[in-house]
Amino acid sequence: MRGHGRVIEYALSTLARRKFKNFSVAAVFSFLIAVLSSILFLTHAYKTETLKLLEDSPEIILQNMSGGRHELIPVEYITTLSGIAGVGKASPRYWGYYYDSLTSANYTLMAYDENMQDIKLLQGRMPASEGECAVGKGVADIRQVGMKDDIFLTLGTEQNVTLKIVGLFSANSAILTNDLIILTKDSLIKFFNMPADMATDITIEVNNPSEVSTVARKIRRTFPNSRPILKNELIRTYDNIFNWRGGIVLTMFFGAIAAFMIFVWDKATGINAEERQEIGILKAIGWETADVLYLKFWEGAAVSLSSFFTGLILAYVHVFYFNAQFLAPVLKGWSVLFPKFEPMPYIDIYQIFVLFFLTVLPYVAASVVPSWKAAISDPDSVMR
């Protein structure tokens, strides 16, 4: 064991002797790991965050379709829906989009209902009467308004609607509420000029979650023009979106990965005359082939492990302390009001292991194999 410790010590001193070469490799390696890990961390954090948000959403959202497009849905459907076996509670939702030409941003306007009780407010309360509203942090920031301020929205008729801000949503719920303006149901219906007996969609609770698909089929049969959207489908869709976006970024980065792998391979396999000579000297003075391989293993391991963990730490800091400044716009999507939420540090250990096996192990192998070729040859080469 003493011997192994001294060989490791020697490996580290060897790295220090060739510091420029090893530092440049470590810098590129760390950068690569940092970028790859940032993508993985951020994608996973978004997916986990979205999943947590969708956990509380209804099992089924029922939309009415007309000409292949989402249409308002008659509220009277609820009576029929309640009669379908397996359906628990069905409630209408009132919401719509509003394009704010002042800031070139899209807001989501939504009528307050009891299901929103779980959304945390930073300040104030939910709207209780006509002319009141609660707004997300993004809306407040872009319109530069705060509690008790008025916010003006312009109707298609060029008539301004003034709403008093009585509540501000907490930044923690930003992914859900950033572009949100909550009004009372009457205010919203009036704002969008919706017919009194129509809603935007209907949320449906299912008594037995394992029967969701069956219930959805029954609903579809009962209302052929409707589209039941299942929570699981939403989760899958978000998963796919983030995987797709992560994949796009990874693909863009593929060139850099390929260049690095070639660089690593060239560095690791291209054992130079000086290194070959050093291996010969070590063999000549009594080192065994196994000792030389152990040395080379630790040289490769020290560079790749330190780079790997440096990259991981950089990625962690980038994603979870600096909110992934360089990647978030690509992964979050098209919205004008990017939620400035801080991704929670959810890390998929499996992904870390995959990254480890795809980067550290090839590097170590590429360091050891060419040295092995030199180490098994007779050491008398150093005499000539």
| 56 or 380: CB nearest another protein | 380
Rule CB under 8 A: say whether 281 interacts with another protein.
Answer: yes
64, containing H or E segment: strand 60-66
Point out which residues pair with 178 in neighbouring strands.
none
Q: Which is nearer to another protein, 158 or 274 (CB)?
A: 274
CB of 3 to another protein, least distance (A): 4
> Helix (H, G, I), strand (E, B), or coil: what is residue 366?
helix
Q: Note whether 151 and 162 are within 8 A (CB).
A: yes
What is the rounded CA–CA span in Å between residue 348 and residue 54?
Answer: 19
282 binds another protein (CB under 8 A): yes
Which C-beta is closer to another protein: that of 17 or that of 52? 17
| Beta carbon of residue 362, minimum distance to another protein (angstroms, whole number) | 26
Count the Cβ atoms, other than its own, within 10 Å of residue 264.
22
**Interface with another protein, residue 380, by CB under 8 A:** yes
SS3 for 135?
Answer: strand
C-alpha distances in Å from residue 143, one per residue of 113, 152, 338 = 25, 10, 14
Q: Taking Cα atoms as reference points, which of 278, 327, 347 lies closest to residue 48?
A: 347
Does 276 sit near another protein (CB under 8 A)? no
Of 58-66, 120-128, 241-249, 281-289, the window that binds another protein (rule: CB under 8 A) is: 281-289
Q: Which residues are CB-contacts of 92 (< 8 A; sequence separation ≥ 6)?
A: 73, 75, 78, 199, 200, 201, 202
Q: With binding defined as CB under 8 A, does residue 92 bind another protein? A: no
Q: Does residue 197 bind another protein (CB under 8 A)?
A: no
Cβ-contact 183, 127 below 8 angstroms: yes
Q: Shortest gap between Cβ of 294 and another protein (angstroms)?
A: 8
Closer CB to another protein, 166 or 303, in the complex: 303
Q: With binding defined as CB under 8 A, does residue 22 bind another protein?
A: no
User: Exactly one of 93, 276, 283, 318 binds another protein (CB under 8 A); which one?
Assistant: 283
Candidates 212, 278, 299, 355; binder of another protein (CB under 8 A) is 278
- In angstroms, the CA 44 to CA 50 distance is 10
Beta bridge partners of 66: 69
Candidates 167, 246, 311, 379; binder of another protein (CB under 8 A) is 379
Binding residue count for another protein, defined by CB under 8 A: 32
The three-class DSSP label of residue 66 is strand
User: Binding to another protein by residue 376, rule CB under 8 A?
Assistant: yes
Task: Please say which residue, 3 or 224, places its beta carbon nearer to another protein.
Answer: 3
Q: How many residues does the chain have?
A: 384
| Residues from 284 through 323 that contact another protein (CB under 8 A) | 284-291, 294
Contacts of 55 (CB under 8 A, 6+ apart): none
Q: Is 7 in the site for another protein (CB under 8 A)?
A: yes
C-beta closer to another protein: residue 255 or 286: 286
Q: Give residues in contact with another protein (CB under 8 A).
A: 1-4, 6-7, 9-10, 13, 17, 277-278, 280-291, 294, 376, 378-380, 382-384
